[in-house]
Amino acid sequence: MKTHIANTADVVVHCSRKSEYRSPFGAQQTGSYVTISIDVDCQIEQVVLCYAYGLYSLEYNELPCRKEKADGIRWCATLRMPSEPGLLFYWFCLRSKDCDIEKIVDPSCHDYLYRNLEEGKTYLYYVASWEGDDGRGKFAFTAPKVGVTEEKYPHAFQITVYEKGFHTPDWMKGAVMYQIFPDRFHRDSNFSFASMKETELQRPERITHEDWYEDVDIEGKPETGYLACDFFGGSLPGIAEKADYLQALNIDVLYLNPICEARSNHRYDTADYMNVDPILGGKEGYKTFSRTMHESGIRYILDGVFSHTGADSRYFNKLSRYPNAGAYEAYTQGKESEYASWYSFYRNEDGSVGYDSWWGFPDLPNVKENDLSYRDYILGPEGVITRWLRGGASGVRLDVSDELPDSFLREMRRCVKEATSGEGLVLGEVWEDATTKISYGNYRDFAFGRTHDTVMGYPFRAILLPFLKGEIDARTWALTMERHRENFPDEMFYCMMNLISSHDVPRAITILAGKPDPGDRKLQQELVLSESERKRGMTLMCMAFAIQMTYPGCPCIYYGDEIGMEGYRDPFNRRTYPWGREDEQQKEMLAEYRRLSGLRRENEVLRNGEIRILLAKGDALVYERYLNEGKKDHFGHTCQGAEKVLCIVNRSDKMSMVADIDPLDGSVSVSWQEKKEETAGVNEKRFILKPLSYEIYIEV
């Protein structure tokens, strides 16, 4: 069967990202009205707008479109969005006599048409095409599949319907973020190896590194094996001592991996939610950190792990290291414990004790988030979240959000907002498109204004790195990013944590320029970038950062990315920052990061201005950020700095790119040459970019 089933694709047109076909653009508030239009330039009896809406279940309906003019080609329908947040999928069905539909469809495809004998009509569907410019659709012989358990093809057009009045913190919109893995960033000036070594007395499985520049452990102690329990002594006061460094990078907000007391170095096995890990400086060290950050004008958010705790914790207490009985002792020994109801235990066939744990890891027992005593402990008036926020945090990042019940997430957001007069942030770990994320048998309530303010931008990373590596072209990047812009509420889109590295994925430079992951930890440790790979990788990292800094959302730097730290998956993406050992290449790269982040700070258009993609083809990418009338950004705020900024990227590693931009309509034409041209055009802006380079042009 042919991929293109029509005689001419332009006979029917709907472009979801053009206001003439769908108005207003993008995601919509509950109860708002949207006018949807389609051009049908042929004889047809009826055009029907088909739609399904809801969240935990979908309702299917049809609305006949009306002709805008009796002799015209435009058919229209106006829908009032549902009163409850959720998803609205839509598509069109053309219904007419056999001969009318057959004129549209290639003769070789006539046998695939659906013919309704009762109506005496033949059907042809018009659905979404993820390859269509401006959201242009395509023909299909069957209706889209949009149910949770269905194949999701053909694709439907999507409108994300979010809670009326949904608002995210203004301080987060367009902010520059910096992520720190606390043990590996910086030791404070009062660091004592002897004191760190003493912690092995209470937790003998720990390995302590006296040498800050030593590589991470991959074996553990012989009696335990690898447990991610090696420590270098980075601390919260150590971060505070680098406040000037963070300010020079123009950082607005820090995201810290967990800081609560825990057994491991990553601390996702929480031992005590109410206590800052002593090895990080304890409560006094936290106060110093918090005070310094606020004095430096840098906000911070803390990592919250609420789907599980550590087995070695005051709540579970499997290893009996805490004085009061935990849930494990309550189940196995009959002791009383206030935490007994938090976990699910059972007996295996051999009589041994079993319990629900995160992905089967016995060190991470799952909690029952619907247990009311657990909810009160975390979300109550004197609970964990409120205490963190009163202590100076500006928000919380939720570990594995998609494994927390929607009702828990909704209560979490209410708790954060009440504790901060509405200014606190809820950032969720969701790796896929949060608007259509499915888990536990349902579309999830992630992007509709009731749970998260925003989510981690793993999809941003997933499309940017392949583009820079040459695995996809600029058009594919643009189509994907425009689909995200269309589907996310603006309040969330401009807060998106646009990352390229994190503690959970390999370092970006290793992905961009290194060899494929060999899988084995020993081999991962031994593989480092060659001199040529490193040079290319640092060039590509700067290109990635240039796009991060000029695209809407919150560009997030994972500590060390600014100097090209490398490494495969955990634990190699969690090495120590090499203070004092940066080479000249790294210093140059850091200077460029500072320059680019400085441009964003000086020109607020790069934070919350509008975006328009001018050209995305092959290796060439050109887009502009611009302000509305009166130097207003997308949210109506008056901005400082330039009114317009151009971002021009040449992804080719062989050819120079000449981009001519028409000053009247903004259209772009590109030519390629092996040698750099010296003269510029007379009537046009001309930009000449060498291979693997970018230009950020500030219009004065």
As a whole number of angstroms, the distance between CA 168 and CA 176 comes to 16
Segment 592-618, tens digit of pLDDT: 999 999 999 999 999 999 999 999 999
The tens digit of pLDDT for each residue in 637-653 reads 999 999 999 999 999 99
Q: What is the pLDDT of residues 171-189, one digit of tens each?
A: 999 999 999 999 999 999 9
User: Which one from 188, 399, 433, 486 is the annotated catalytic residue?
Assistant: 399
Considering 230, 303, 369, 429, which one is annotated as catalytic?
A: 429
For 75, half-sphere exposure in the C-beta direction (CA atoms, 13 angstrom radius) is 22
pLDDT at residue 433 is higher than 70: yes
Give the strand pairing for 442-443 and 554-558. unpaired
453 is catalytic: no
Residue-level pLDDT at 443 = 97
681 band by pLDDT with thresholds 50, 70 and 90: very low
The closest alpha carbon to 177, from 550, 555, 603, 501, belongs to 555
Q: What is the mean pLDDT of the chain?
A: 95
Class of domain 609-699: mainly beta
Cα separation, 626 vs 646, whole angstroms: 9
Range with the poorest average pLDDT among 102-106, 152-156, 372-376, 572-576: 102-106
406 labelled catalytic = no
Q: In which band, very low, low, confident or very high, does the pLDDT at 5 lie, cut at 50, 70 and 90?
A: confident
Per-residue pLDDT for 2 more than 50?
Answer: no
Q: What's residue 102's pLDDT? A: 85
Angle made by CA atoms 622, 549, 171, in degrees to the nearest 5: 130
Q: What local confidence, expressed as pLDDT, does residue 7 receive?
A: 62
In this prediction, residue 94 carries a pLDDT of 96
Report the 10 Å Cβ neighbour count for 441: 8
Q: What is the pTM of this model?
A: 0.95
Q: pLDDT tens digits, residue range 91-140? A: 999 999 998 888 888 888 898 888 888 888 999 999 999 999 999 999 99
Domain residue limits, the chain: 9-162, 177-306+368-596, 308-367, 609-699
What is the domain class of 177-306+368-596 according to CATH?
alpha beta
Least Cα distance to 156 among 168, 166, 147 occurs for 147
Identical fold between 177-306+368-596 and 609-699: no
Does residue 9 register a pLDDT over 80?
A: no
Which of 2.60.40.10, 1.10.260.40, 1.20.120.1200, 1.10.10.10 would CATH assign to domain 9-162?
A: 2.60.40.10
Q: What is the pLDDT of residue 71?
A: 81
Query: How high is the pLDDT of residue 105?
Result: 87
- Nearest alpha carbon to residue 214 among 233, 227, 195, 199: 233
Would the pLDDT of 209 be above 80? yes
